């Protein structure tokens, strides 16, 4: 499957697939910034590699959840209007407009212009901080699919993905995020060890890490992620993107 992927920052990615341009988890506010949602305070330390105004084309948005600014901030919300948005069922109710909810394993056909994709929602667990969904994206005539994890830890339900789909490329939300207000110790996104385990379960031939830098609540970065994949014998699966650079992959 031929795709072009641009990592913009955190979990924000522009994915060109099957003739459509999909934007994931749009976060485009300038950094540094502080977001207060008592009792939680989130701090960003770095901004997007591409400004929202520089995006040439966005056909639809895949939003893993709408409740946290590292996945959807004020600037990112401005990109939702007038576009199809696939997200959680609860998030679609909050957002209204063109937002449509995906329950786990529910599939919707996304058609924009001459491009058509099949999008399937996947399970997720984001700790005690709200609903989340991942996505499997299929293009007509292609055997392989693309998996986008959303903000989740590795739960047993995710092992079903590799049984249902042939995953070529997986975009995994990592960072080992922890929130001190919730005790500080519970993972609410995958760490490197969980990501390596999920990679083996998926059978993905390529893993693109996202959601691992520029926020204070992330506790693992590139070095730790790479080390865990090396320990698992999966270092060759990792594919790091340079933020802001569109990279064609097949």
Tokens encoding 33: 């910034």
Q: Residue 126 pairs with which residues in a beta bridge?
A: none
- Provide the domain limits for residue 17: 3-240
Q: What's the domain count of the chain? A: 1
Output the CA–CA distances (angstroms, integers) from residue 81 to 97, 98, 111, 167, 241, in the order listed.
Answer: 7, 7, 17, 31, 28
Asked, for residue 61, whether it belongs to a domain, the answer is yes
Per-residue pLDDT of the chain (250 residues; tens, 9 = 90+): 899 999 999 999 999 999 999 999 999 999 999 999 878 899 999 999 999 999 999 999 999 999 999 999 999 999 999 999 999 999 999 999 989 999 999 999 999 999 999 999 999 999 877 799 999 999 999 999 999 999 999 999 999 999 999 999 999 999 999 987 766 578 999 999 999 999 999 999 999 999 999 999 999 999 999 999 999 999 999 999 999 999 999 8
Task: Put the strands of the sheet holding 134-138 in their side by side order.
Answer: 107-112, 115-122, 134-138, 145-148, 167-173, 206-210
Asked, for residue 247, whether it belongs to a domain, the answer is no
Cα separation of 212 and 177, whole Å?
Answer: 8
Is the link from the previous residue into 39 a cis peptide, with omega within 30 of 0? yes
| Angle 179-6-177 from CA coordinates, rounded to 5° | 10
Asked, for residue 249, whether it belongs to a domain, the answer is no
Asked, for residue 246, whether it belongs to a domain, the answer is no
The reported pTM is 0.97
Contact 134, 170 (CB under 8 A): no
Output the CA–CA distances (angstroms, integers) from residue 104 to 88, 137, 157, 158, in the order listed.
Answer: 9, 14, 10, 10
Q: Which residues are CB-contacts of 37 (< 8 A; sequence separation ≥ 6)?
A: none
Asked, for residue 195, whether it belongs to a domain, the answer is yes
Asked, for residue 98, whether it belongs to a domain, the answer is yes
Q: CATH number for the domain including 98?
A: 3.60.15.10
Place of tokens 């599939």: 107
Asked, for residue 20, whether it belongs to a domain, the answer is yes
Is the link from the previous residue into 32 a cis peptide, with omega within 30 of 0? yes
Asked, for residue 250, whether it belongs to a domain, the answer is no
Cα separation of 238 and 225, whole Å?
Answer: 9
């Amino acid at each position: 499957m031929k795709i072009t992927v641009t990592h913009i920052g955190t979990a924000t990615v522009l994915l060109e697939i099957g003739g459509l341009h999909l934007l994931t988890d749009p976060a485009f506010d300038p950094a540094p910034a502080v977001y207060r949602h008592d009792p939680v305070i989130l701090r960003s330390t770095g901004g997007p590699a591409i400004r929202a105004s520089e995006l040439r084309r966005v056909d639809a948005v895949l939003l893993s959840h709408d409740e946290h600014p590292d996945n959807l901030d004020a600037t990112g919300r401005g990109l939702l209007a007038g576009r199809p948005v696939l997200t959680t069922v609860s998030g679609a109710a909050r957002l209204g407009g063109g937002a449509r909810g995906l329950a786990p394993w529910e599939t919707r056909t996304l058609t924009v212009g001459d491009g058509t994709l099949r999008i399937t929602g996947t399970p997720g667990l984001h700790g005690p901080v709200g609903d989340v969904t991942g996505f499997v994206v299929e293009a007509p005539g292609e055997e392989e699919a693309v998996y986008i994890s959303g903000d989740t830890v590795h739960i047993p339900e995710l092992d079903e993905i590799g049984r249902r789909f042939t995953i070529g490329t997986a975009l995994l939300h990592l960072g080992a995020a922890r929130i001190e207000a919730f005790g500080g110790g519970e993972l609410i996104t995958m760490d490197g060890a969980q990501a390596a385990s999920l990679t083996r379960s998926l059978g993905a031939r390529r893993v693109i890490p996202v959601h691992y830098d520029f926020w204070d609540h992330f506790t693992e970065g590139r070095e730790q992620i790479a080390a865990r994949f090396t320990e698992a014998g999966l270092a060759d699966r990792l594919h790091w993107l340079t933020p802001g650079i569109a990279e064609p992959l097949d």
